[in-house]
Chains A and B, each alone.
Chain A
């Protein structure tokens, strides 16, 4: 610890107007500090030039999230944890929620604030590319009043912003226009946590009839400021989603960024990886377009054909029929929403019918009543068990039998991505449930399985 606390002053006014008054009285003399996850690091290293600080931590005017019809207003004092835990942000601005999960660690997310991330103005900051593609606006406040600026205009140069010396960010406003876009972001760094990015990209895309209707791309750690990529966007917009587009987009993006060599990475690596991430984004957009095509084709089938095609995703006739009856669907998300709603409202017999189409975890074959598509998917989903040692497999068989004796049906779990050991642990835990709880738990697992299968089905 290289700083002497005796040399510093920190005041903590209890409301925002006192802070604003202080900044007006002595502009540039008081450095605002919120969660301190950056400033305290500088301070401990003996590198904090400022000697007087004013605390913004936990001011209620700054730590709130307001949801209106057309926009969400995030107080600048909201922590990354606040963002992660907010339902509307998770659903409509997943790139921001994701960036919040990627920043630092849980302990740092509990203190670091969005306002701090913006004002600190590191070009590597995780949340900033997301704010750029979401067309964020900032509300700035001082004794002179409030003003609203486009976030895209906020950064003037490396760690230089258009914030006046007597000003604070009050809130970050996000227009609620993007929930139907494909949302993509990726952070490339040395570890999955506690890593400053080498490159990060955030992108939104919307395609129709096989070509790109709208696209918005931003990148971090590739310039002195977080960068929107308008040249790349223009090159992609309204073009058909084919291999030539991917090649071209990669080239334009690599030329639009201007990264440097530093302790984390090199300019060459960064340019190459930005290109890779944009290609990955376009490939996702392409498979999303394919899914949309498949959905539109299914929309046009007769009712009976539609029911038959959907049935392997979830073995309940009632579910398949109700789902088909609600056509047409405009996108995959609304299909899933409808599926969830229908499933949750079915009665017990329908649930049991769906359960009966699955093989026992650990059985080599699906029951004969399952369709061959369903059986094939079951084999894929339970893949971890196929490779498993005999001892573990017999433990699973035994636990399954116990389950069947207790509940009168086979154990249902969404097996995808789970190891055999994990499934055994889950099974043992659920053996403790009472009947009602267990029925709901099994139904929830089936819901997850259905969603995964709906995706696979439309992506074929």
Chain B
């Protein structure tokens, strides 16, 4: 046994646990202010304020409720944004004016001040040229699935001499009721969900945050009209027995700023790398100087589509 003891000890030493908790020489990253908000001509200016945390800190991400946020339109100070609770700040009755630049200066105790600037976007209303629906069926003898291939042919007029980004989404709203028992009151429900969009146009790229839409930049048609074809699959099967449903399709077209586009594109990449030890780290874009987050600009037009 003696002659084996040395050998076994030697082998054991070779394969002993290879994990080690280390103190990496990483400077502690102090919490910074995180500003998330949107300039939308249809709504009062509101932002959410929270704080970041160091990678090794535990606990939930918390809002910041005691900050002072000054709002400027150009050089003119409009006043302080009021705290509404849960880190939400709003300037009541102050809707952004299209084309104006707004600046937020945020100060909070214990944080470096941050500043963010963005310009409010104009509405771009698409012209619907044609809508086409083709009833299709997939499956075989055992099961089948019927749907509508819903094609929208539309045109947009691009403002000249500025970089523009257009986001397209189609939503399906299903509202209905069902009666689980004839003796009971009916149960009402309503769902709103984006449909997956496709387009034969290679200029449109996928934009997948909170459901997928398609985004287009005016790089190759600045100042001109541009025609786009979008397609979606619409389920036409009924919700089931004892159900009465109504469906409504809505096309949403959003004129978004470059910062909004960059933020959500990089956010999508950042999300996709979560839990993947092989993925390249992906930083999320921010237009907040000295902090994180996004003051985005978006202007939406909604068109109800016949179904």
A binds B: no
- Tell me the B residues contacting A by CB distance below 8 Å: none
